[in-house]
Structure 1
Amino acid sequence: MPRSLSHILIVGVLITMAYSLFKAFRPDAVQFPQSPQFVRGKFRNEAPAQRLGWEKTLQVMWRFVLDKPADASPSQPIPVLKLTHTDLLAAPDGSLFRLGHSTMLLKLQGEFWLTDPVFSERASPLQWLGPKRFHAPPIGIAELPTIKGVILSHDHYDHLDHAAILALHPKVEHFLTPLGVGDRLIEWGVPAAKVQQFDWWQGTTIAGVRFVAAPAQHFSGRGLNDGNTTLWASWVIISDELRVFFSGDTGYFDGFKAIGERFGPFDLTLIETGAYNKDWPDVHMQPEQSLQAHLDVKGRWLLPVHNGTFDLALHPWQEPFELISALAAAQGVPLSAPKMGERISIKAPPASSGWWREPATQPLGLSAQLAKGS
Structure 2
Amino acid sequence: MPTRTTEDGSLLRDGRYRNAQPRRAGGLWNTLRIMLRFFTDKSPHAVPAQPIQPLPLSPKQLADAPDHSLWRLGHSTLLFKLDGAFLLTDPVFAQRASPFSFIGPKRFHAPPIALHDLPQLDVVIISHDHYDHLDRASVLALQHKTRLFVTPLGVGQRLQAWGIPAEKIRQLDWWQGEAAGPLHITATPAQHFSGRSLTDGNRTLWASWVIRSSQSRIFFSGDSGYFDGFRQIGQRHGPFDLTLLENGAYNEDWADVHMHPEQTLQAHLDLRGKVLIPIHNGTFDLALHGWTEPLERISTLAVQHDVRLCTPRFGERLDILHPAQTQPWWRQTETGRPRLGAIAHPDPLPEAD
The TM-score normalised by the length of structure 2 is: 0.91
Q: CA deviation at 1:203?
A: 1.2
Of residues 143, 150, 159, the one that matches 1:176 is 150
1:350-365 equivalent positions in 2, closer than 5 A: 350-359=324-333
Q: CA deviation at 1:175?
A: 0.2
* One-letter amino acid of the structure 1 residue matched with residue 21 of structure 2: A
Q: CA deviation at 1:346?
A: 0.9
State the match for 1:158 in structure 2: 132
C-alpha distance in structure 2 between counterparts of 1:192 and 1:220, whole Å = 21
Gap regions ≥5 residues in structure 2: 335-353
Check the 8 A contact 1:334/1:351 in 2, yes or no.
no
Of residues 300, 304, 308, the one that matches 1:330 is 304
C-alpha distance in structure 2 between counterparts of 1:277 and 1:48, whole Å = 18
State the match for 2:275 in structure 1: 301
1:61-140 equivalent positions in 2, closer than 5 A: 61-140=35-114
Check the 8 A contact 2:48/2:333 in 1, yes or no.
no
Check the 8 A contact 1:271/1:304 in 2, yes or no.
yes
State the match for 2:230 in structure 1: 256
* One-letter amino acid of the structure 2 residue matched with residue 194 of structure 1: K
1:307-318 equivalent positions in 2, closer than 5 A: 307-318=281-292
Tell me the SS of whatever aligns to 1:38: strand
Check the 8 A contact 1:252/1:293 in 2, yes or no.
yes
Q: CA deviation at 1:330?
A: 0.6
Of residues 187, 191, 195, the one that matches 1:221 is 195
C-alpha distance in structure 1 between counterparts of 2:246 and 2:74, whole Å = 13
Check the 8 A contact 1:52/1:279 in 2, yes or no.
no
Tell me the SS of whatever aligns to 2:79: strand
* One-letter amino acid of the structure 2 residue matched with residue 162 of structure 1: R
Tell me the SS of whatever aligns to 2:231: helix
Check the 8 A contact 1:179/1:230 in 2, yes or no.
yes
Q: CA deviation at 1:36?
A: 4.5
Q: Which has the higher helix share?
A: 1
CA-to-partner distance for each residue in 1:307-343, whole Å, 9 max, x for gaps?
Answer: 0000000000000000000001111100000001110
C-alpha distance in structure 1 between counterparts of 2:302 and 2:145, whole Å = 38
C-alpha distance in structure 1 between counterparts of 2:105 and 2:237, whole Å = 35
Give RMSD over aligned pairs: 1.3
1:238 aligns to 2:212 (yes or no): yes
Q: CA deviation at 1:52?
A: 2.3
Higher mean C-alpha deviation, range 58-67 or range 88-97 = 58-67
State the match for 2:21 in structure 1: 47
Tell me the SS of whatever aligns to 1:71: coil
Check the 8 A contact 1:216/1:255 in 2, yes or no.
yes
Q: CA deviation at 1:136?
A: 0.3
Check the 8 A contact 1:264/1:299 in 2, yes or no.
yes
Check the 8 A contact 1:109/1:207 in 2, yes or no.
no
State the match for 1:345 in structure 2: 319
State the match for 1:188 in structure 2: 162
Higher mean C-alpha deviation, range 313-322 or range 74-83 = 74-83
Check the 8 A contact 2:10/2:18 in 1, yes or no.
no
CA-to-partner distance for each residue in 1:240-285, whole Å, 9 max, x for gaps?
Answer: 1200000110000000011000111000000000000000010000
CA-to-partner distance for each residue in 1:37-60, whole Å, 9 max, x for gaps?
Answer: 111211000010112211111121
Tell me the SS of whatever aligns to 2:186: strand
* One-letter amino acid of the structure 1 residue matched with residue 252 of structure 2: K
Q: CA deviation at 1:33?
A: 7.1
1:321 aligns to 2:299 (yes or no): no
Gap regions ≥5 residues in structure 1: 1-30, 361-374
C-alpha distance in structure 2 between counterparts of 1:159 and 1:359, whole Å = 25
Q: CA deviation at 1:32?
A: 7.6
State the match for 2:349 in structure 1: none
C-alpha distance in structure 1 between counterparts of 2:39 and 2:84, whole Å = 45
Tell me the SS of whatever aligns to 1:173: coil
Q: 1:36 to 1:336 in 2, by over 3 A?
A: closer
C-alpha distance in structure 2 between counterparts of 1:186 and 1:144, whole Å = 22
Check the 8 A contact 2:71/2:315 in 1, yes or no.
yes
C-alpha distance in structure 1 between counterparts of 2:89 and 2:182, whole Å = 18
Q: CA deviation at 1:208?
A: 1.5
CA-to-partner distance for each residue in 1:51-99, whole Å, 9 max, x for gaps?
Answer: 2211111121122134322200001222310001111111100000000
Structure with more contact order per residue of length (Cα contacts < 8 Å, sep ≥ 6): 2
Check the 8 A contact 1:71/1:316 in 2, yes or no.
yes
Check the 8 A contact 2:194/2:205 in 1, yes or no.
yes
* One-letter amino acid of the structure 2 residue matched with residue 187 of structure 1: A
Higher mean C-alpha deviation, range 290-299 or range 342-351 = 342-351
- Which has the greater radius of gyration? 1
C-alpha distance in structure 2 between counterparts of 1:297 and 1:163, whole Å = 34
* One-letter amino acid of the structure 1 residue matched with residue 331 of structure 2: R
Of residues 111, 136, 141, the one that matches 1:167 is 141
